């Protein structure tokens, strides 16, 4: 399959799951909203979120809460828009506007107002993210999780007793089905779409992602085991950008309650403005400032440059691209997956992704009846299926981050990112904006994390299983 077919077929990284039929997706033009002006006509916004009464839902946010209040006061009683939800994390709200009023609304907003479309999330159709074809004369390899985890050196880490115990990874995604590999470790749950009280995932993306991060392999005698099999999980079910921002706020507010140390977002939206003006990227920054380790997918819009999605465009988040390991431990046949989004970032010109993890044909838990599942994909019985994407690479790094936090609870997001980048294996010939620092190396990263713990305490290493302490450093200054 040609790369441009991939792009057309999937139309970008993660966007609306259930709602948009694949044939409709390929027609959908990316909606673009720059700060203060909607560039496209309303027609091109087809496929974005409309309310039941035909209004366009926008995310309006501000530098500070005071500016937000001024606009509220000015626009009170529905004069400019209808406020449909609060987004205090980014000093903003969702505003529903009549399509014909959008431009006059934007003119009425003060300078510095940030306006984005509250797009429905759209996960790529897994059939369009095929693994790269095997070399001539080579048999096609089935998907694996064990090869990919072996490739990042995880066994050595497990052998040292580090399995993510005492850490919780929050998964903001389509939900988590209580698959046998996951059900005893989902310690927290919120559904910001429908308010379902118990963990569920009709789409199947979040369940798969959660399994790569922390699945136990219970249904496969440990064969399909996640990177941090003893870590706990929190599921945050969302289906739109605004819900993702609310989800980040929920994770920050519930960090201590569930002992959440890592936030995984195998999600993204078109990056149409600087990360400084992008509400999702700004919300991700708030999560880092709150002491969380934030790991984000680069997106599946490669191989062209400038294709990294938000919030992966934020310089501080750990942005993960996908390695195609050809399902072999031999590194000689490895490449960066064609679909893996490339830097430099479209608006700010930053080098991304930060690093790679395996992301092609990765086995993970299958939610029964998942919309994402199609018969063409590799399956192991009814319990597992293999799909591809930077969505699959991201939870490998999130699981490893949980392990590093277990090994050295004092490490901040920035320190963990620095360790991951410093210890990654740079063996592919690609530019940094294609592969970042290279393939993540779990055992090297653990070694550095332990060294830092030892040098800090001046004596023994941190004990495995020690839970995250309540204190954390506030974020550094952002360069
Ligand atoms: Ca290989």
> What is the number of domains present in the chain?
2
Distance 333 CA to ligand 1 centre (A): 5
pLDDT at 92 over 80: yes
Pair 189, 226 in one domain: yes
What pTM was computed for the model?
A: 0.86
Pair 102, 191 in one domain: no
Pair 70, 203 in one domain: no
CA nearest to 411, candidates 439, 460, 443, 445: 445
Distance 417 CA to ligand 1 centre (A): 25
Q: Which residue has the higher pLDDT, 111 or 19?
A: 111
d(Cα 285, Cα 296) in Å, to the nearest integer?
12
For residue 65, give its domain range. Answer: 32-117
d(Cα 456, Cα 445) in Å, to the nearest integer?
17
**Is residue 371 assigned to a domain?**
yes
Of the residues 309, 391, 413, 433, only one is catalytic, namely: 391
Pair 346, 447 in one domain: yes
Of the residues 173, 181, 269, 316, only one is catalytic, namely: 173
Percent of the chain, pLDDT > 90? 64
Of the residues 205, 208, 314, 433, only one is catalytic, namely: 205
Pair 164, 100 in one domain: no
Tokens of 282: 């700004």
Distance 378 CA to ligand 1 centre (A): 18
pLDDT of residue 48: 67
Domain end marker among 69, 101, 117: 117
Q: What is the CATH number of the domain that holds 351?
A: 3.40.50.200
Distance 327 CA to ligand 1 centre (A): 6
Note the residue count of the chain: 479
Q: Quick one: 355 exposed, middle or buried, by C-beta within 10 A (0-12, 13-18, 19+)?
A: buried
Q: In which order are the strands placed within the sheet that holds 384-387?
A: 362-365, 384-387, 379-380
What is the radius of gyration, based on Cα positions, of the chain?
A: 21
Distance 337 CA to ligand 1 centre (A): 12
Pair 233, 358 in one domain: yes
Pair 94, 187 in one domain: no
Pair 195, 338 in one domain: yes
Q: Residue 356: which pLDDT band, with cuts at 50, 70 and 90?
A: very high
pLDDT at 127 over 70: no
Tokens of 160: 């040292």
Distance 349 CA to ligand 1 centre (A): 31
**Is residue 75 assigned to a domain?**
yes
Let me know if 301 is a catalytic residue.
no
Distance 367 CA to ligand 1 centre (A): 28
Domain end marker among 48, 82, 117: 117
Pair 110, 176 in one domain: no
Pair 396, 328 in one domain: yes
Let me know if 433 is a catalytic residue.
no
**Is residue 5 assigned to a domain?**
no
Distance 308 CA to ligand 1 centre (A): 24
CA nearest to 281, candidates 431, 94, 59: 59
**Is residue 476 assigned to a domain?**
no
pLDDT at 474 over 70: no
Beta strands 168-173 and 92-97, pairing class? unpaired
Q: In which order are the strands placed within the sheet that holds 82-87?
A: 82-87, 92-97, 56-61, 114-117
Q: Residue 26: which pLDDT band, with cuts at 50, 70 and 90?
A: very low
**Is residue 321 assigned to a domain?**
yes
**Is residue 12 assigned to a domain?**
no
- Torsion, Cα of 34, 36, 39, 45 (10° steps): 80
Pair 402, 281 in one domain: yes
Tokens of 138: 């080579």
Distance 102 CA to ligand 1 centre (A): 50
**Is residue 8 assigned to a domain?**
no
Q: Which residues contact 324 (CB under 8 A, 6 or more apart)?
A: 131, 132, 334, 335, 336, 337, 338, 358, 359, 360
Let me know if 414 is a catalytic residue.
no
d(Cα 90, Cα 246) in Å, to the nearest integer?
10
**Is residue 472 assigned to a domain?**
no
Q: What is the CATH number of the domain that holds 76?
A: 3.30.70
Pair 217, 72 in one domain: no
Q: Which of 48-57, 73-82, 178-187, 352-361 is the least confident region? A: 73-82
- Spell out which residues have Cβ within 5 A of ligand 1, the ion: 325-326, 328, 330, 333-334
pLDDT at 123 over 60: yes
Q: What is the 3-state secondary structure (H, E, C) of the chain?
A: CCHHHHHHHHCCCCECCCCCCHHHHHHCCCCCEECCEECCCHHHHCCCCECCCCCEEEEEECCCHHHHHHHHHHCCCCCCCEEEEEEHHHCEEEEEECHHHHHHHHHHCCCCCEEEECCECECCCHHHCCCCCCCCCCCCCCCCCHHHHHHCCHHHHHHCCCCCCCCEEEEEECCCCCCCCCHHHEEEEEECCCCCCCCCCCCCHHHHHHHHHHCCCHHHCCCCCCCCCCCEEEEEECCEHHHHHHHHHHHHHCHHHHCEEEEEECCCECCCCCHHHCHHHHHHHHHHHCCCEEEEECCCCCCCCCCCCECCCCCCCEEEEEEECCCCCCHHHCEECCCCCCCCCCCCCCCCCCEEEECCCEEEECCCCCCCCCCCCCEECCCEEEECCHHHHHHHHHHHHHHHHHHCCCCCHHHHHHHHHHHCECCCCCCHHHHCCCECCHHHHHHHHHHHHHHHHCCCCCCCCCCCCCCCCCCCCCC
**Tens digit of pLDDT for each residue in 390-443?**
999 999 999 999 999 999 999 999 999 999 999 999 999 999 999 999 999 999
**Tens digit of pLDDT for each residue in 131-188?**
544 444 544 454 566 788 888 999 999 999 999 999 999 999 999 999 999 999 999 9
């Amino acid at each position: 399959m040609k790369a441009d077919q991939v792009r057309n077929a999937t139309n970008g990284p993660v966007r609306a799951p259930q709602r948009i039929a694949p044939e409709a997706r390929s027609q959908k033009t990316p909606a673009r909203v720059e700060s203060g002006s909607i560039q496209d006509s309303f027609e091109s916004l087809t496929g974005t979120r409309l309310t039941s009464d035909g209004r366009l839902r926008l995310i309006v946010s501000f530098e500070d809460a005071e500016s937000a209040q001024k606009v509220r006061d000015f626009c009170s009683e529905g004069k400019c828009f209808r406020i449909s939800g609060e987004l205090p994390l980014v000093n903003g709200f969702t505003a529903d506007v009549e399509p014909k009023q959008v431009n006059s609304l934007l003119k009425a907003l003060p300078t510095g107002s940030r306006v984005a479309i509250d797009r429905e999330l759209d996960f790529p159709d897994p059939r369009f993210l095929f693994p790269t074809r095997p070399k001539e004369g080579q048999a096609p390899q089935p998907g694996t999780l064990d090869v990919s985890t072996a490739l990042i050196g995880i066994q050595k880490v497990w052998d040292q007793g580090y399995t993510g115990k005492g850490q919780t990874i929050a998964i903001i995604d389509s939900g988590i089905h209580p698959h046998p590999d996951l059900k005893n470790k989902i310690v927290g749950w919120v559904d910001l779409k429908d308010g379902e009280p118990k963990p569920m995932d009709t789409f199947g993306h979040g369940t798969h992602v959660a399994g790569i991060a922390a699945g136990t392999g219970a249904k496969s005698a440990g064969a399909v085991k996640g990177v941090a099999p003893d870590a706990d999980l929190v599921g945050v079910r969302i289906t739109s950008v605004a819900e993702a921002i609310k989800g980040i706020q929920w994770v920050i507010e519930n960090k201590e309650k569930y002992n959440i140390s890592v936030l995984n977002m195998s999600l993204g939206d078109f990056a149409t403005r600087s990360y400084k003006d992008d509400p999702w990227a700004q919300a991700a920054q708030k999560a880092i400032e709150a002491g969380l380790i934030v790991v984000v997918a680069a997106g599946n819009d490669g191989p062209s440059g400038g294709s990294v999605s938000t919030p992966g465009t934020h310089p501080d988040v750990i942005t993960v691209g996908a390695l195609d390991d050809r399902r072999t431990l031999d590194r000689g046949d490895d490449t960066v997956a064609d679909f893996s989004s490339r830097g430099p970032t479209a608006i700010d010109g930053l080098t991304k992704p930060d690093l790679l993890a395996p992301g092609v044909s990765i086995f993970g838990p299958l939610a029964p009846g998942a919309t994402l599942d199609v018969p063409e994909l590799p399956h192991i019985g009814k319990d597992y299926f293999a799909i591809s994407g930077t969505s699959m690479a991201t939870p490998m790094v999130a699981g490893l981050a949980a392990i590093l936090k277990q090994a050295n609870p004092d490490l901040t997001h920035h320190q963990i990112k620095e360790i991951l980048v410093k210890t990654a294996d740079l063996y592919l010939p690609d530019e940094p904006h294609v592969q970042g620092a290279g393939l993540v190396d779990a055992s090297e990263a653990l070694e550095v994390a332990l060294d830092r713990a030892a040098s800090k305490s001046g004596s023994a290493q941190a004990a495995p299983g020690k839970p995250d302490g309540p204190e954390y450093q506030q974020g550094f200054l952002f360069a």
